[in-house]
A and B are shown apart, each in its own frame.
Chain A
Amino acid sequence: MPSAGTGAIWSFASPKRRDLLLGIGVTAMIAGGGVGTDALLAAPTVSAPPATFVAMSRFVTGSDLVDDAAITRAWAQLVALDAGFPAAVAQLAGAVDKAGLKTMTEFLASPLGKDAALLNTARTLTSAWYLGYTGTFASHASKDDTGFVTFAGALMWRPTIDATVIPTYSRGATDYWIDPPAGTPVPKGAASVRDWRGSGAAANSSKDA
């Protein structure tokens, strides 16, 4: 098991950022790739995601997305939300290809990074993969236009996977949260507030007030 993702050696430059998912061990699964045919069969009957969609998803996120079921879901939902989406993706892919850009950093620094339409497409793609859903969430309602893409695979968890959990999953023993994540600079005098005031054995006979 490769070691990665402990706070002290955190590096954003790592091309293997997905390794940071080791915290809950999604990596092996994602790296394992492959998709059950069941998931493909269950997907909505739309055109298969074009290679440009996958390529642009990977380009904007800097991540080698491999969950084909999630790719299929994301594509179907984004097309359903916006009939112009396939054309927008094609436009982005064409522009990136023409400019010979290899990374998002290059894209944002280039003239393309000032193009509102291209930026909007990049943001739509990024949003789907980072938040793990498409559409706009409406609270206190039972319906909206959101669609599920992925939960544990959502990229927004990656940058903190050495410090926090993907909700619903576990990190360690009860009370692990008393200490900060490894590598957090701890200010002086921190020990004085570690315990609850009034807690402890002597506190267990309180009929005063």
Chain B
Amino acid sequence: MRIVTNAAVALSAALLFALPAQAQTSDKPPANAEVARGQYLAKAADCGACHREVHSGGPAYAGGYVIASPMGDIVAPNITPSKTAGIGTWSFVDFERAMRKGERPDGAKLYPAMPYTDYQGITDADMHALYTYFMQGVQPVDTVAPKTQLPFPFGIRLIMAPWNWLFRSNTPFKASAGLSPQAQRGEYLVQTLGHCGSCHTPRNLLMAETQSKALAGGDVGGWHAPNITGDPISGVGGWSQSEIATYLRNGHVSGKGVAAGGMGEAVDHSLRYMTDPDLAAIAAYLKASKPIRDPAESKPDFAWTDPRPVPLSAYETGDTHDQAAVGDSSTTDGAVLYAGGCASCHGLDGKGTKDGFYPPLVGSSTTGAANPANLVMTILNGVSRQGADARSFMPSFASQMSDAQIAAVANHVLVHFGRPDRSVSANMVADLRNGGPKPLLLKLMPWMFGIGGLIILVGAIAAARRLRARYA
């Protein structure tokens, strides 16, 4: 395992040097192999997804970007080596403690928006490389990012102590026996640096990843991060290994789907920088990972490939010669909305362009998903993603269509191009517009009496866990 990892890293570093375009302009050029390796690992760990400036294009890792968590806004701190505003005074031990334990040098607890439960398993060698990179390869920025101030009770960072006791592991990463060396490398990337489970593993009542359902799909800010276990129906078992690797690199694969939302960002900020061997390793692991099937499902989400034809007359409704009608945009006729808003790119038949520049809505994991949330979120928010091959962009329709109109156009797409046994309501659109359904923890909060209630809850869950572990 050790040898494999080192070989892969050596290869990664070699590829990295061969691809100067990968270096961010605000990074110093890598001075040595250790820094270069750290830079690659920081990309793989997607540190920049959160630790960036409010607006893109600013200096790397300067922080200030606001992560809208269900508990409130978490501001990503400055992690440049600035001695005043960043982590320039941190020792390796300080760095490692933050990365593995979620604790700052002053003992304050980090929120698990920082995926320390995953980073915990990063190898010592990789951790050193990351530290070296952040100390030597990143330009110091002396701008202090604003403080995170979550509402009560989450504002009390000490509440993370029992949470950590429950959900943080202290054992080093150990690859699963029975996996190929390639899949083992993939497992390491997925479970530690890649922190894929942050989104793709469902969270329990206390917002921790439910390990028994690892990678079986989770909900993040309105988006549904799908099941990426090896299951051929509910997961990615039906994708070839090279399709998965291509998807991670480019953010789209014909006949399978496109990346938007958080996955679009992961491709844009992290995955497209990864080496082919590492992407192949991730793909190998995902395909080999323990399949988890939703028993209600019998067909993969990308397999809804038979569109139901729409007569042209549904799209071309004719000219009323009535000027008031020309200015009236209140219709909730899904076909009319589709024609005006979607067909210019995706085609009247929903098949996109032949070159795939505009993706098909037929045979797409977005339109064939059991949960239509991503379809709605894509219409609401659009797509903006730089993949290794090309840039992809879809404008947002949030301000052009009402909730009822977005529901109508989504239903038109589902009925004719996607999964016809699913539908979207205006209420669902309204919910997703506001960031998606709230976690149970937040819904229960009004009935809890602050910390007291929380501790009782934590205790109850801990008891349940132990009980279950005993009988498992």
Contacts and interface: CB of A to CB of B under 8 A. Distances in A.
B316 A151 contact: yes
A41 B314 CA distance: 13
Interface in A141-193: 147-148, 150-153, 168-174, 176
B348 A70 contact: no
Interface stretch (B186-194, B274-282, B303-311, B379-387): B303-311
A152 B316 contact: yes
Where chain A touches its partner, the secondary structure class is: loop
Contacts of A23: 354
A29 B345 CA distance: 17
Interface string A6-39: 0000000000000000011111111111111001
Contact of B313 (A31, A39, A168): A39
A36 B316 contact: no
Nearest to A71: B313
A13 to B, nearest CB: 24
Nearest to B347: A25
A147 B316 contact: no
A171 to B, nearest CB: 6
Given A26-B312, A30-B312, A33-B311, A39 B349 contact: no
A29 B353 contact: no
A8 to B, nearest CB: 15
Contacts of A28: 307, 309, 349
Given A147-B319, A171-B353, A67 B313 contact: yes
B358 interface: yes
Where chain B touches its partner, the secondary structure class is: loop
Nearest to B320: A42
A32 B309 contact: yes
B24 interface: no
B307 A35 contact: no
Name the residue among A24, A25, A73, A173 with the largest chain B CB count within 10 angstroms.
Answer: A25
Given A33-B311, A42-B317, A67-B311, A24 B358 contact: no
B343 interface: yes
A96 interface: no
Contacts of A176: 355
B389 to A, nearest CB: 11
A36 B311 contact: yes
B312 A70 contact: yes
B357 interface: yes
Given A73-B318, A171-B353, A24 B309 contact: no
A150 B316 contact: yes
Given A24-B347, A28-B349, A169-B347, A34 B316 contact: no
Contact of A24 (B316, B317, B348, B390): B348
A73 B310 CA distance: 19
Given A26-B349, A32-B310, A70 B319 contact: no
A68 interface: yes
B109 interface: no
Name the residue among B348, B354, B358 with the largest chain A CB count within 10 angstroms.
Answer: B348
A69 interface: yes
B344 interface: yes
20 contacts: A23-B354, A24-B349, A25-B348, A26-B312, A26-B349, A28-B307, A29-B310, A29-B312, A35-B311, A35-B313, A39-B317, A69-B316, A70-B312, A70-B313, A147-B319, A148-B316, A152-B348, A170-B357, A172-B354, A172-B357
Interface of B: 307, 309-319, 343-345, 347-351, 353-355, 357-358, 390
Given A69-B313, A173-B357, 9 more contacts: A26-B312, A28-B307, A39-B314, A39-B317, A42-B318, A152-B348, A153-B316, A168-B344, A171-B353
